[in-house]
Amino acid sequence: MPRFEYEVKKGPGAISKGVIEAENQRAAVTQLRDMGYFPIHVAECSEAKTSRSFRDSLVRIRIKDRNVFLRQLANLSESGMMITRALRTLVEQTENPKMAKVVDQLREDVQKGNSLADAMERHPDIFPSMYCSLIRAGETGGMIEEVLWRICIFGEQEEELRGKVISAMVYPIFLMVVGSIAIFILISFVFPKFIDIFEDFNAQLPWPTVVVMGICDFMGTWWWAVILAAVAIIVLLVRYRRTDPGRMAFDRFFLRVPVVKTLIIKFEMAKFARTLGTLLDNGVPVLTSLKITAETMSNVLVRNNVAALHTGVTEGDSLSETMRESILFPPMVVSMFAVGEESGRIGSVASRIADAYDLEVDRAVKALTALFEPLLIVVMGIIVGFLVIAMLLPMLSLSAGVGA
C-alpha cells in the first residue's frame, strides 16, 4: 500500500509531521481528518512514487482494458448514475493500475467542470480522436449512454478483427522461429563435429559438403557475432520503421506483395467503413468524420488516400467521385457509397460495407495462412534436407571405400 508524508495541525499546537499508509491521497486525507487532525500537506513518499512508477512501466494499457472500461461506464450511465460517480466507482474496479490512474484523472477533470470528451482528449494514446468526437456529439445531443454503447460495439468489433489476424499468424511465426533455431543449432554445434571426422580421412568431399563445411566453420567460430548482427539488424529495422520515411517504405513494400496487399486493403477498408459509418450515424459532420477516419488508418498510403477524400469533398466533389479517383478503393465500395449519397444513408451503407469486409478479412487471413504454412514447411524441409544430405554423402563414400 502506498505511503504518504503529511504535515498536520491539531488546535493551536505546533505542526506535526509523519508518514501514513493509505490507498490514495484522498484516503490519506480522510484518515487524518478522522484522527482529529487538520491536514496541511499530504504527498506520496518519494520511494513509493519510484517503486510505483517502475511497476507501472512494466504494465501497459491494452485495447481490451479500454473496451472493458467503456462497457462498464456505459452500464453505469444507463442505470442513471452521474458520470463523476460512475468514474469514481470504476477507479476502484479497474484492475490495470495504469488504466485506473487514467480513469481517476478523467474523474478529476470532469469534477472541475470539463466535459468527458475534453477529459478523454488529454489521453490520445488511449482514447482516439474518433471516440472523443463521438462522446462530444453524445454530450451535445443528450444521448451519451447510446453513444457509449456504440463505441463499445465498435471497439469490440475492432478488437475481434485484429485478434483474428494476429491469432492466424501466430503458428506460422512460431514455426519459422523454431525452424530457424534448429538450423542454427545444427550448423553451429552439431555438424562441425562431423567435419572433424571428414578431415581426418583426407577424402575428397562432394561440393554440397564443402559448402556446408564452409558455413559450419564460419558459424562455429563467429556464431555469437551472427546473433549480435541479427539482433542489431532487427533493432535498426524497428527504429527505422518508427520514423516517417521508414513507415512509408515498409507500408509501400507490403502493398507490393500480391497476397499481403489483398489482406491489407480489405483490413483497411473494413476499418475505414466502420469508423466513417459510426461517426456519421452519431451526427458527426462529414468533413470532420473523414479527417478523423484518416487518422485511424494503419497504412500510411491508405491514410493519405483517405485524407485526399477530405480534400476532394472540401473542394465540392462528392465522396464517391473522390473515391473513384483513387486506385485503393474497390469499385464495389465506390458504387455502394454512391448509392448511399443518393439515398442520404451513407452511415448505414458504410456499416454494411464494414460487415462485408470483416468476413472478407477472415477469409483472406485463412487463405494466407493456408498458403504460408505449407510453403514455410517446404522451405524449411529443403534447407534441412540439403544439410543432412551434405553430411551423409561423404559418409556413404567412406563406407563404400572401406567395403572395397
Say if residue 16 is in the same domain as residue 78.
Answer: no
Using the 3D structure, point to which of 157, 188, 216 is the last residue of a domain. 157
Say if residue 326 is in the same domain as residue 197.
Answer: yes
Say if residue 50 is in the same domain as residue 70.
Answer: no
- Are 16 and 9 spatial neighbours (Cβ–Cβ below 8 Å)? yes
Whichever domain contains 8, its CATH number is 3.10.20
Range of the domain at 49: 3-57
Among 86-95, 154-163, 236-245, 271-280, where is mean pLDDT lowest? Answer: 154-163
Distance of CA 310 to the CA centre of its chain: 26
pLDDT at residue 401 above 60?
Answer: no
pLDDT digits (tens, 9 = 90+) for 12-53: 656 667 777 676 777 777 777 777 777 777 777 655 444 444
Using the 3D structure, point to which of 95, 129, 157 is the last residue of a domain. 157
Task: Report the alpha-carbon distance of residue 253 to residue 219 in Å, rounded.
Answer: 31
Say if residue 53 is in the same domain as residue 67.
Answer: no
pLDDT at residue 160 above 80?
Answer: no
Grade residue 1 by pLDDT with cuts at 50, 70 and 90.
low
Q: State the burial class of residue 236 (Cβ atoms within 10 Å of its Cβ: 0-12, 13-18, 19+).
A: exposed
The answer to whether the pTM exceeds 0.75 is no
Q: What average pLDDT score do residues 138-165 get?
A: 78
Q: What average pLDDT score do residues 337-344 get?
A: 85
pLDDT value for 233: 93
Q: What average pLDDT score do residues 231-236 get?
A: 92
**Per DSSP, what are the bridge partners of residue 9?**
38
Higher-pLDDT residue of 101 and 7 is: 101
Grade residue 228 by pLDDT with cuts at 50, 70 and 90.
very high
Say if residue 270 is in the same domain as residue 321.
Answer: yes
Grade residue 72 by pLDDT with cuts at 50, 70 and 90.
confident
Sign of the Cα torsion 267, 273, 274, 276 reads positive
Say if residue 49 is in the same domain as residue 71.
Answer: no
Say if residue 362 is in the same domain as residue 399.
Answer: yes
Determine what percent of the chain is predicted with pLDDT higher than 70.
89
Say if residue 120 is in the same domain as residue 18.
Answer: no
Average pLDDT, the chain: 79
Split into its structural domains, the chain has a count of 3
Grade residue 236 by pLDDT with cuts at 50, 70 and 90.
very high
Say if residue 142 is in the same domain as residue 71.
Answer: yes
Sign of the Cα torsion 224, 227, 229, 231 reads negative
